[in-house]
Amino acid sequence: MSLPNLAQAIAWASERFDKSSDSPKLDAQVLLLHVIGKPRSYLYGWSDESLTELQYTQFKACVARREKGEPVAHITGTKEFWSLPFFVDSSTLIPRPDTETVVEYVLGLGMPKSIRLLDLGTGTGAIALSLASEQPNWDITAIDYSEDAVSLAKRNQHALDLPHVKILQGSWFEPVMDAPLFDVIVSNPPYIDPIDPHLSQGDVRFEPLSALIAPENGFADLRHIIENGAQYLKSGGVMVLEHGYDQATVIQNFFAQFAYINILTIKDIAGCDRITVATKP
Ligand SMILES: C[S@@+](CC[C@H](N)C(=O)[O-])C[C@H]1O[C@@H](n2cnc3c(N)ncnc32)[C@H](O)[C@@H]1O
């Protein structure tokens, strides 16, 4: 059997992904690098190096899974977020680049060196652990309802060596009912309308509905967090919520209804409305 070199393997897989993926070449590259266990730069210097028989067998298995629609991140078991490697699995959402808008906004607030921050629906821990990596003195608590997601977030916490972040299981504010008030509350909660046709397309087919959908056309969890969050925020504390590109007006109205001030929507890197922020008076 003749074994392909790296460039040939990528070309072959890209062609197979052509119809099923928006990024066929990138998917092929990420899967190949996963199999050979090398960094991205390796592809530039060593593209004519041949795969071993074992690597070729493993790569073909990865390609077959991707062709069936499985997300690349589930095949490799990891996803980069805020330039950090996060383990991912089917217990929660694969972190999205859009969510880096939350991290960027919070870091840009110019908060003091020691604040208390709460991340609701932490999933992999993407937001909480990224913030902790930038601000080691912040007192950060992260909560998720899913026990499996909590285990995953703790695995990421361990791998990223951020032991001071508190990761708790429970529903929204329940685990911090008796905790001191927070300076910042962030959340990327489930916000997709349960009848949204996109739920049957792409990566989301492989992600749990518990991380994706919310009743009331996708607004129930966002409304719950806004309505109840004020009692967990200090006066002058800030809430930062991710939401769908077409949900900003409703979220702004919720914030106004529950007497928050300085209500502002910010776009993500793709130019879509992505987060709305507000202050407790
Ligand atoms: C959209 S995912 C966000 C995950 C992660 N924060 C991120 O940005 O990648 C929403 C998360 O909220 C969690 N969740 C759903 N209902 C919850 C509840 N009642 N209390 C706490 N977390 C909940 C889900 O398990 C899921 O991990």
Q: Is the pLDDT of residue 10 over 80?
A: yes
Could you count the other beta carbons within 10 Å of the beta carbon of residue 138?
21
Q: Is the pLDDT of residue 173 over 60?
A: yes
Q: Longest Cα pair distance anywhere in the chain, in angstroms?
A: 71
Q: Is the pLDDT of residue 163 over 70?
A: yes
Q: What is the mean pLDDT of residues 253-271?
A: 97
- Domain extent listing, the chain: 6-69, 89-279
Summarised one tens digit per residue, pLDDT across range 73-93 is 999 999 999 999 999 999 999
Least Cα distance to 252 among 219, 228, 210, 207 occurs for: 219
Closest C-alpha residue for ligand 1 atom 19: 171
Q: Which atom of ligand 1 is nearest to the CA of 81?
A: 9
For position 218, what pLDDT does the model report?
98
C-beta 150 within 6 A of ligand 1: no
Closest C-alpha residue for ligand 1 atom 11: 121
C-beta 187 within 6 A of ligand 1: no
For position 104, what pLDDT does the model report?
98
Tell me the two tokens of residue 276: 């709305």
Report percent pLDDT > 70 for the chain: 100
**8 Å CB contact between 25 and 10:** yes
Q: Which atom of ligand 1 is nearest to the CA of 122?
A: 6
Mean pLDDT score of the chain: 96
Q: Which residues pair with 119 in a beta bridge?
A: 142, 186
C-alpha of residue 58 to centroid of ligand 1, in Å: 32
C-alpha of residue 122 to centroid of ligand 1, in Å: 6
Q: What is the mean pLDDT of residues 254-275?
A: 97
C-beta 143 within 6 A of ligand 1: yes
For position 50, what pLDDT does the model report?
95
Tell me the two tokens of residue 219: 């607004």
**8 Å CB contact between 265 and 246:** no
C-beta 123 within 6 A of ligand 1: yes
**8 Å CB contact between 232 and 240:** no
Q: Is the pLDDT of residue 36 over 90?
A: yes
Q: Which atom of ligand 1 is nearest to the CA of 128?
A: 6
For position 186, what pLDDT does the model report?
98
Fold assignment, 6-69: Helicase, Ruva Protein; domain 3 (1.10.8)
Closest C-alpha residue for ligand 1 atom 12: 121
Strands 166-169 and 182-187: unpaired
Q: How confident is the model at residue 198 (pLDDT cuts 50, 70, 90)?
A: very high
Q: Residue 45: helix, strand or coil by DSSP? A: helix
Q: Which residues are within 8 A (CB) of 247 and not within 5 positions of it... i.e. 6 or more apart? A: 191, 218, 219, 222, 273
What 11-17 contacts at long range (C-beta under 8 Å, 24+ apart), as own/partner pairs, is 13/59, 13/63, 13/66, 16/63, 16/67, 17/63, 17/66, 17/67
Q: Which residues are within 8 A (CB) of 171 and not within 5 positions of it... i.e. 6 or more apart? A: 145
For position 45, what pLDDT does the model report?
87
For position 280, what pLDDT does the model report?
98
Looking at per-residue confidence, does 112 or 58 come out higher? Answer: 58
Q: Which residues pair with 79 in a beta bridge?
A: 86
Q: Is the pLDDT of residue 155 over 70?
A: yes
Residue type, 57: T
Q: Is the pLDDT of residue 1 over 60?
A: no
Q: Is the pLDDT of residue 113 over 90?
A: no
Q: Is the pLDDT of residue 193 over 90?
A: yes
CA distance 241 to 102: 8
CA distance 204 to 196: 11
Instruction: Enter the DSSP assignment of 5.
Output: B
C-alpha of residue 50 to centroid of ligand 1, in Å: 42
Q: Is the pLDDT of residue 19 over 90?
A: no
CA distance 104 to 100: 6
**8 Å CB contact between 125 and 153:** yes
C-alpha of residue 149 to centroid of ligand 1, in Å: 8
C-alpha of residue 5 to centroid of ligand 1, in Å: 41
Among 81, 93, 247, name the best residue to mutate to test ligand 1's pocket (greatest count of ligand atoms within 8 A of Cβ): 93
CATH number of 89-279: 3.40.50.150
Residue type, 208: P
C-alpha of residue 99 to centroid of ligand 1, in Å: 13
Q: What is the mean pLDDT of residues 59-77?
A: 96
Closest C-alpha residue for ligand 1 atom 8: 188
CA distance 248 to 273: 7
Q: Is the pLDDT of residue 244 over 60?
A: yes
Q: Which atom of ligand 1 is nearest to the CA of 146?
A: 25
Q: What is the mean pLDDT of residues 138-164?
A: 98
Could you count the other beta carbons within 10 Å of the beta carbon of residue 89?
16
Least Cα distance to 139 among 162, 161, 116, 163 occurs for: 116
Q: Which atom of ligand 1 is nearest to the CA of 187?
A: 6
Q: Do domains 6-69 and 89-279 have the same CATH topology?
A: no
C-alpha of residue 218 to centroid of ligand 1, in Å: 13
